[in-house]
Amino acid sequence: MVDDAGARAVVWCRLHCLVVRPRGGGHDPAVVTPDPEAFAAAWLAAFNAHDLEAVLAHFADDVVFTTPVAVRALPETGGIVRGKDALRRHWMLALKRVPDLRFEIDGVYAGIDTLVLNYRNQAGGQVCEVLTFDGDLVREGARHLPRRERATGPSSWFARGRPHPRQLRVGG
């Protein structure tokens, strides 16, 4: 039994989503999300460049984004960030607190109207981000952190730029 929320999300995705490895360079027409690999590459480049406007260009104006990081950073949200302006504020605060914030994609998974980005931050902390689309724009997003990190206080890596010392590792 895996005791890590991020790893469980990856296992769930591997069982229920299409692992994105297009054959012949094409995008599956049955999937109504943007091209998964192109989206992930653009998202990653924008975040790693700290270009918030480029990141936010992927999100609907009325996006709803849930993240345990927001509980600590913006306690009034209760972890639910509503609207593009609030999401901008949340991410601006994140970049201020963690100026070396960087991500590395470990996997991209596609459902019908959903993409899951499995990635690691600059400190090696694992994150799964589930993005639900309405056309080409994200209408709902949810960031999932390992269970131990959530249970001991929302995202110590956000607060101090490194993973929680008791963060569980899968297979190690």
The DSSP output letter for 9 is H
Q: Which residue pairs from 28-33 have beta carbons closer than 8 angstroms and sit at least 24 positions apart in sequence?
A: 28/110, 30/112, 31/110, 31/111, 31/112, 32/112, 32/113, 32/133, 32/135, 33/110, 33/111, 33/112, 33/113, 33/114, 33/115, 33/133
**Model pTM?**
0.70
Whether residue 5 is predicted with pLDDT greater than 70 in this model: the reply is no
Written out in words, the top-level CATH class of the domain with range 5-20+35-158 is alpha beta
Return the SS3 of 2. coil
11-66 pLDDT, tens per residue?
444 444 444 433 334 445 555 789 999 999 999 999 999 999 999 999 999 999 99
Q: Kindly list the domain boundaries of the chain, sorted by start residue.
A: 5-20+35-158
